[in-house]
Chains A and B, each alone.
Chain A
């Protein structure tokens, strides 16, 4: 089932890259991307939650997957709001910052809370290589985020856009570092494998965020851009991770 879902996910995400190559109308691409940005995080949220339900009611793992699911769902709600703007304002691109950013940003605390609960339930020390790799990933991602967001910071003339940009800049690197810490504890185990998928998903998500920022600053972004596939596949990887974990413990 996991492989089938992964293949379906790739097939459904592929048009983002294929449509421009096939000369499909920009409006169709725009609508398709918006729709998929709502469907993929919501589907990932559903898979995370059904994985959580495999574990007993008070079990830490249930909380972990539920929190991940809620995080995905928040992003999905952000995407719904993002998609609603052009519908309300006659096809105009959603401005930055907008209410959709609240949904997008709420993914971070929920996913970090999931990591925290997971780490707490494993009474194992994080290996040195885990800390080192996590710190390296965090710092590298943070440096790139700062570089890509410099113009945004400069353009922020009020506290609100400045704060939103700051949260985006810090949030994604924190997610990457946190995933590596969890993965390093479980290295070599079957439960660790899904966490590497979560990491790949978050790298894709982070990369998409980064290029999105760059293109927005350059004034070259429009919904349906090929970079949108980063979010779709990122959520796909998290959904696959959820299903892999589910198959391990489903009895």
Chain B
């Protein structure tokens, strides 16, 4: 199982719908296992703590960290209208945002190929958000918040992401951001400690990253940005990456000289970028 962070399970369901996933999605939330079954992207069943399917849905949708594992299998589509049940859960249990998951402010939104569902209770706000997400390019959530000033904005977003009509992706921002820091560190290492040390750092970093986060089968239209990881893991791979940027220096040059290169790289970042990195490095309980 691999970790997922800063991503609600409702979003994972939407992402799996979008990629028409068939099989088991095993999730561990605070050491409790949840077993979700999908058929061609449609959620067909949930097993969680002996709860009924709708109660289980209500309970798991709002967890935003845990572990997840996908096992492809063939299942038959059921007639459960889980999207309506998710909408009900959004009304009753959606968490205060962005307080519950502040990192969500850094997610990018992207339209999927699905057509907006007209029967949803979030049709109005959904339409507003949908119209403000540009086709073919990703939009920052902050831009959407500015364009769509609506008290139901987050509920609308949850509906769109849960139904797979809009996809949330951290990779767009974070992989580019971390690649920038990585290249600054490498350039400093090369400048200060020479080419050989810089090359060894790069080699070790990708080796460590591959060990921690093997980039699982890349999904169609997903890996446009170099270094982007599967969206279902949220920020987890990027947090590991941010951590390894510093830790690998110690494994390459175990002296203060290495840390000096790291510090010099961070000094070149804008204050908001330093803040973002700090948020990534902050470990959650």
Contacts and interface: CB of A to CB of B under 8 A. Distances in A.
Interface of B is mostly: helix
A249 B188 CA distance: 13
Given A123-B200, A124-B200, A249-B260, A188 B253 contact: no
Given A123-B200, A123-B251, A191 B256 contact: no
Contacts of A188: 190, 194-196
Nearest to A63: B255
Contact of A185 (B191, B197, B251): B197
B254 interface: yes
A122 B192 CA distance: 13
Nearest to B197: A124
Interface residues of A, number: 22
Interface string A100-138: 000000000000000000000111110100000000000
B257 to A, nearest CB: 6
B141 interface: no
A123 B200 CA distance: 8
A251 B262 CA distance: 14
B194 A61 contact: no
A15 B190 CA distance: 41
Given A60-B254, A121-B253, A190 B196 contact: no
A191 B251 contact: no
Contacts of B196: 124-125, 127, 185-188
A249 B193 contact: no
Interface string B164-193: 000000000000000000000000011111
Contact of B191 (A60, A61, A189): A189
Bin chain B's interface residue count.
10 to 19
B193 A187 contact: no
A147 interface: no
A191 B195 contact: no
B94 interface: no
Contacts of A249: 256-257, 260
B193 A189 contact: yes
A186 B197 contact: yes
- With most chain A CB atoms within 10 A of its CB, the pick from B189, B190, B197, B252 is B197
Nearest to A184: B196
A68 to B, nearest CB: 15
Contact of B256 (A55, A189, A192): A55
A23 interface: no
B172 to A, nearest CB: 34
A190 B192 CA distance: 4
- With most chain B CB atoms within 10 A of its CB, the pick from A60, A191, A248, A249 is A191
B203 to A, nearest CB: 10
Contacts of A191: 192-194, 257
Contacts of B252: 122-124
Contacts of B254: 60, 121, 123
Contacts of A127: 196
Given A123-B200, A123-B251, A124-B200, A56 B256 contact: yes
Contact of A61 (B189, B195, B197, B255): B255
A125 B194 CA distance: 13
A59 interface: yes
Nearest to A190: B192
A189 B194 contact: yes
A202 B197 CA distance: 25
Contacts of A190: 191-193
A55 B254 CA distance: 12
Interface string A67-101: 00000000000000000000000000000000000
Contacts of B257: 61, 191, 249
A186 B193 CA distance: 5
Nearest to B194: A189
Nearest to B251: A123
Contact of B194 (A123, A185, A248, A251): A185
A187 B192 contact: no
A251 B261 CA distance: 12
Interface in A163-211: 185-192
Interface of A: 55-56, 59-61, 121-125, 127, 185-192, 248-249, 251
Interface of B: 189-197, 200, 251-257, 260
11 contacts: A59-B255, A61-B255, A61-B256, A123-B254, A186-B193, A186-B194, A186-B197, A188-B194, A189-B191, A190-B192, A192-B193
Rank and list the top 10 A-B pairs by shortest CB-CB distance, nearest first: A189-B194, A188-B194, A189-B193, A60-B255, A61-B255, A186-B194, A59-B256, A121-B255, A188-B195, A55-B256
